[in-house]
């Protein structure tokens, strides 16, 4: 079968995002980094109003967008948690074995990748929809690299 450029391109972009997460996690485990990326994206998505979640997803490479939307049920969203611990609990459900510090590092790693890969305006809009503790964590990821 002949390679299709659009699929090659999204595969390369997705690999770049996963490699970025691995880098900021200090890891070489690409499968675990994929699970971290997916989990953090789901935790963000589920906290956003549905319209904002759709705008956010539209900025992502096609393959990332696919796993971003996987399992999404917008009718019961957004979730209403107010503290970053609840966000971290969401990550822990999807990626077992992460201790408290690793959960925060996972969120920061994904936030850093998002800051680098998406337009600043969209990142700011999404960040504004999150509780203050998460906005601060995401902002620190913006200035830390």
Each residue's pLDDT tens digit, 43-98: 999 999 999 999 999 999 999 999 999 999 999 889 988 899 999 999 999 999 99
Using 50, 70 and 90 to split pLDDT, how confident is the model at 145? low
103: containing domain: 5-143
First to last CA, the chain: 41
CA–CA distance, 43 with 94 (Å, rounded to integer) = 10
The tally of domains found in the chain comes to 1
Residue 66 neighbours by CB under 8 Å, 6+ apart: none
Do 140 and 107 contact (CB within 8 A), yes or no? no
The model's pTM: 0.92
Residue 131 CB: number of other CB atoms within 10 A?
A: 16
Provide the CATH number for the domain around residue 98: 1.10.490.110
Each residue's pLDDT tens digit, 101-138: 999 999 999 999 999 999 878 889 999 999 999 999 99
Owner of token pair 């990142």: 123
CA–CA distance, 131 with 60 (Å, rounded to integer) = 22
């Amino acid at each position: 079968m002949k390679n299709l450029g659009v699929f090659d391109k999204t595969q390369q972009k997705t690999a770049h995002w996963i490699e970025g997460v691995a880098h900021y996690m200090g890891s070489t485990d690409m499968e675990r980094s994929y699970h971290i990326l997916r989990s953090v994206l789901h935790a963000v998505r589920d906290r956003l109003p549905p319209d904002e979640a759709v705008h956010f997803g539209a900025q992502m490479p096609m393959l990332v967008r696919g796993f971003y939307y996987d399992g999404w049920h917008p009718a019961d969203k957004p979730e209403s948690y107010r503290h970053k611990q609840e966000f971290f609990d969401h990550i822990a459900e999807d990626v077992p074995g992460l201790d408290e510090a690793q959960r925060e590092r996972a969120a920061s790693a994904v936030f850093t990748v998002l800051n680098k890969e998406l337009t600043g305006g969209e990142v700011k809009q999404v960040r504004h929809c999150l509780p203050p503790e998460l906005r601060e964590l995401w902002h620190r990821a913006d200035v830390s690299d």
